[in-house]
């Protein structure tokens, strides 16, 4: 069998099968590596979820906030911010659903106390009827100083696409009010103060969403993903390819070395 595997007749087929098995085994190892990366990411996310809240006021004053491109470093960080809402520059994040109901999110700049900066706060979802009728402005509360707790989220930038245009609307002369994503850099263009390069997704109260606007919890996936299953599949494919090839080669050799039937002599003598 060993000589047959590497003989001139089957050498190239053997090498091709071995190469295919090596590729499949490497794909299995790659899936295991991705699983380890997912486990490490989950550990980092759990640490963020359990960490003490970061003070955005202190981060703004210290000017040590991560760069906007460091998206994975800031996503879902627990944080709190103290200041006054600027409802005059409130925005609507339109085409947003909650339990399959259409509506919009209320996004309000929070002027940070003692920081000379602001952070956009996603205060939650209101129904489409409130948006159409203009009743969404009834949620412009509170007016005094507030402390908001939530999860930090990176600016919603779509790769390969231009930023949404900010600034004043050419027809009305007013600042643009409806947005399709929270693009901090674009929204900055129509505000008179500096924004942090992230926004804050306000957390729901301890009793849950009992009144509008309904707070939105970030989607958190702590599973290991399908990588282990994919790895086992690739290893199984590699083993099956080797077993099938050896079985086919053995069957061919058996046929080649099987005794051939001898012709029978005619009965009786001449």
Q: Please give the full DSSP string across 195-260, using - where no structure is assigned.
A: EEEEEEEEPPPTT---SSSBP-PPP---S-TTHHHHHHHHHHHHHHHHHHHHHHHHHHHHHHHSPP
Residue-wise pLDDT tens digits, 179-226: 999 999 999 999 999 999 899 999 988 787 888 899 988 777 778 889
Q: In this structure, are residues 183 and 194 in contact, taking their beta carbons and an 8 Å threshold?
A: no
Provide the residue range defining the domain that includes 34.
2-43+226-256
Same structural domain, 69 and 99: yes
Domain count, the chain: 2
What was the pLDDT predicted at 86?
92
pLDDT digits (tens, 9 = 90+) for 38-52: 898 888 778 777 777
Residue at 159 is within a domain: yes
d(CA 65, CA 60): 7
Residues 7 and 83 reside in one and the same domain: no
- Whether 233 is covered by a domain: the verdict is yes
Q: What is the pTM of this model?
A: 0.69
Residues of the chain with pLDDT under 70: 1-6, 8, 63-72, 142, 158-174, 257, 260-270
Judgement on whether residues 67 and 38 belong to the same structural domain of the protein: no
Structure tokens at 145: 């100083």
Same domain, 35 and 65: no
Residues 171 and 150 in one domain: yes
């Amino acid at each position: 069998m060993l000589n047959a595997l590497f003989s001139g007749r089957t050498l190239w087929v053997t090498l091709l099968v071995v190469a295919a098995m090596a590729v499949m085994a490497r794909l299995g190892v790659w899936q295991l590596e991705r699983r380890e990366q997912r486990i490490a990411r989950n550990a980092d996310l759990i640490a963020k979820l359990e960490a003490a809240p970061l003070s955005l006021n202190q981060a703004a004053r210290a000017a040590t906030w991560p760069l906007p491109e460091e998206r994975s470093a800031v996503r879902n960080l627990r944080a709190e911010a103290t200041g006054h809402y600027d409802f005059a520059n409130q925005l609507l994040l339109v085409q947003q659903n909650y339990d399959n109901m259409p509506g919009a999110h209320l996004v309000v700049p929070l002027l940070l106390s003692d920081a000379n900066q602001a952070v956009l706060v996603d205060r939650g979802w209101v129904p489409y009827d409130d948006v159409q009728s203009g009743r969404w402005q009834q949620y412009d509360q509170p007016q005094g100083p507030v402390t908001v707790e939530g999860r930090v989220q990176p600016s919603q930038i779509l790769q390969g696409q231009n930023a949404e245009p900010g600034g004043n609307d050419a027809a009305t002369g007013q600042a643009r009010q409806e947005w399709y994503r929270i693009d901090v850099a674009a929204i900055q263009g129509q505000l008179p103060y500096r924004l942090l390069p992230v926004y804050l997704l306000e957390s729901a109260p301890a009793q849950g969403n009992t009144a509008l606007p309904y707070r939105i919890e970030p989607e958190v996936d702590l599973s290991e993903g399908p990588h282990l299953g994919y790895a086992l599949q690739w290893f199984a494919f590699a083993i099956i390819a080797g077993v099938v090839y050896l079985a086919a080669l053995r069957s061919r050799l058996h046929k080649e070395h099987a005794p051939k039937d001898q012709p029978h002599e005619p009965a009786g003598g001449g």
